[in-house]
Amino acid sequence: MLHIQGDDSAARLGSAAHEIMALVVKGNLQKPPENLGEIGRQWDLDSEQLQDLEYLSWRGVELWRKLLLEVGMDEIEYPLESQALDLTGTADFIGYTVLLPSYQVIIDWKSGYKMGDELTQVMGYAYLHNLSFDIDMKPEKIIGMVCYLRTGIIDTVEITQQMLTEWVIKYQVQMGSSIYRIGDHCQYCPRKYECEAVAVLRKNSIAAFGSNLPDTHEKLAELYPQSQALADVLAGYNRALRAVIAQHPDGLPIGDGKRLFLETVTKQTITGEAVDTISGIYGWRTSVTIGKTKLMDLVRIGAEKGKKKEACDNLMKELEDAGCVETTEYQKLQERKE
């Protein structure tokens, strides 16, 4: 199994510096830990190396104080693994950006000077970390940082899902694999429609749901991976179908004298500010939270016969004038008779 090392040199000084930085980050220390000397001796550092470790620790504290304004912590010294890729590693820091919490952050501390493209290692960490998210919860970006304690330099890269896909394909080629291994990353791969492994998985998944469901709870739970693969198939089909229908304003035939169209639907949502406004209009004693459909039903019930639509229109106008209605549009597949 290939291991992505946290420190390329694997030196005792580097290992001690990583241990120090874990304590600095975890305790949000303003200076190196008091047991710095003890940690150095545990790694068999001599007096000169202990002085170097103290220097690196002070530089690390300074770096962390800068980073603390931009990132929040989730994990430190976090083990990552993909059995499918035979790949493991330990990320020094995993967290998120303060301004955009949906962006993940991975930090790798380096005790030596810059040597080559260290960001490639962070890409590996980012890929392994990305595997821990469900397909619909993948982070938009992962910010990879390589922080050089000795010089104070921070190399940064914004990693997208597409970049991770390209990275894993390159990794597979470098490892001499004759076939791509399936996983969550497949949905971003430009070769997913021609990949033999994905085709086999999808075929097996469809077959698993083509008959009666299992009669035991355990066997039903075992179908979860196939259900996710099948969901990916359906999601890909729907995306492709929408793209095709969008090119045909008159729709396309789907049999039985019907055509399929892509219609733009307008949706109105009553915001929270509407509660007091509605109470003021109707003199209600108690404010309530209510959806638009339910509210219109209540208005129709209370309105005079023949004036129900007018009552609904008047209320919606009052709410719109008060800025309590949000209007959004989305596209929906719709069947019609030819």
Percentage, residues of the chain above pLDDT 70: 76
pLDDT at 6: 36
pLDDT at 226: 73
Q: Which domains does the chain have, with CATH numbers?
A: 2-166 (3.90.320.10), 193-245 (no CATH), 263-337 (no CATH)
Indicate the range of 9-18, 203-212, 252-261, 293-302 predicted with least confidence.
203-212
Q: Which residue has the higher pLDDT, 146 or 186?
A: 146
Task: Tell me: pLDDT of 3 over 60.
Answer: no
pLDDT at 10: 39
CA–CA distance, 1 with 79 (Å, rounded to integer): 14
Task: Tell me: pLDDT of 25 over 70.
Answer: yes
pLDDT at 140: 86
Please, which contacts does 135-141 make with residues 24 or more away whose CB atoms are closer than 8 Å? 135/184, 135/187, 135/228, 135/231, 135/232, 138/184, 139/102, 139/103, 139/104, 140/102, 140/103, 141/103, 141/104
Q: Is the pTM of this model over 0.75?
A: no
Task: Tell me: pLDDT of 276 over 80.
Answer: no
User: What is the DSSP secondary-structure string of 141-188?
Assistant: EEEEEEEETTT--EEEEEEEHHHHHHHHHHHHHHTT-SSPPPSGGGGG
The average pLDDT across 270-294 equals 54
- Confidence class of residue 8 from pLDDT cuts 50, 70 and 90? very low
Task: Tell me: pLDDT of 124 over 80.
Answer: yes
Q: Which residue has the higher pLDDT, 115 or 296?
A: 296
